[in-house]
Amino acid sequence: MQTELFLLIALLSAVVANPPSAHTTQFGLIKGAVVDATGSPIAKAKVFDEPMEAVRTGKDHFTLSDENGRFLLNDVPVGKTMVIATKIEDGYPDARFAVFSGNEILPVVDVKPDQVTSGVTVKLLVKGGTVAGRVTDARTKSAVPDARITLSRLDHPTWSIETNVEKDGSFRLVIPAMPMHFSIKAPGFGEWNYEQSVFSTNHSPMNLSPGSKLEIPIYLEPMS
């Protein structure tokens, strides 16, 4: 009865959150649990279905794990789907992006129409480190809100992420504990590169340890 209620509530809440619109697509459900690297259940993790034989565009589709780490994902397009869990606020890198998760083996589920695939265990990535800071104009000390951050892997340079900073030039990223190229560009400014900065030892790439926090104020030099 408890399981039925859990399923029903999760199903209803997920439907309310983001109903599908492609009526011709068939859907199934995935039930499982989110754990960390030690196998301990993780509550309030976001669980995403990332279809491999279909495409989900538009708004994010996810559910949250309950206090025992359990989740139920509804409206999953049939076929093979990768199930990914993230909890950035607790220091786990976002596993939806290859630049952070490319070497990890993540569960792939073959979803059948109107069927629940249960017993899926989704591991969060190993905890990463947090890099945070604020991008400012070295001359005026004002924020550079159109700065773009690029992170890429040393072992797989084509896997990268390019993203924006906040309106006030600040940024906060949870990245895996592995060597990464880190650079920042903005129109009208010279490129800033971590490996060429005073924060790098011997021009080595950024390599944060799990749970660590690196705060770097970044000053971009105007080109004229």
Binding of other proteins by 188 (CB under 8 A): no
Binding of other proteins by 172 (CB under 8 A): yes
Please choose, from the candidates 172, 196, 188, 198, the residue with its C-alpha nearest in 3D space to the C-alpha of residue 221. 188
The single residue among 188, 190, 210, 217 that binds other proteins, judged by CB under 8 A, is 210
Q: Which residue has the tokens 């040393």?
A: 154
Longest dimension (CA), the chain: 70
The single residue among 6, 51, 199, 219 that binds other proteins, judged by CB under 8 A, is 51
**Which residues face 81 on adjacent strands?**
51, 109
**Which residues face 131 on adjacent strands?**
173, 214
Binding of other proteins by 46 (CB under 8 A): no
The tokens for 70 are: 């359990």
Q: What's the min distance (Å) between Cβ of 167 and other proteins?
A: 8
Q: What's the min distance (Å) between Cβ of 57 and other proteins?
A: 6
Binding of other proteins by 22 (CB under 8 A): yes
Binding mask 111-150 for other proteins (x = CB under 8 A): ---xxxxx--------x--x--------------xx-x--
Binding of other proteins by 6 (CB under 8 A): no
Binding of other proteins by 212 (CB under 8 A): yes
Contact 63, 73 (CB under 8 A): yes
| Number of residues forming the site for other proteins (CB under 8 A) | 70
Contact 194, 203 (CB under 8 A): no
Q: Which residue has the tokens 């084509």?
A: 158
First to last CA, the chain: 70
Pairwise CA distance, residues 165 & 156, whole Å: 24
The single residue among 30, 95, 111, 184 that binds other proteins, judged by CB under 8 A, is 95
Binding site for other proteins (CB under 8 A): 4, 8, 11-12, 16-22, 24-25, 29, 38, 40, 50-60, 77, 81-82, 84, 89-91, 95-102, 104, 106, 114-118, 127, 130, 145-146, 148, 158-164, 167, 170, 172, 209-213, 215
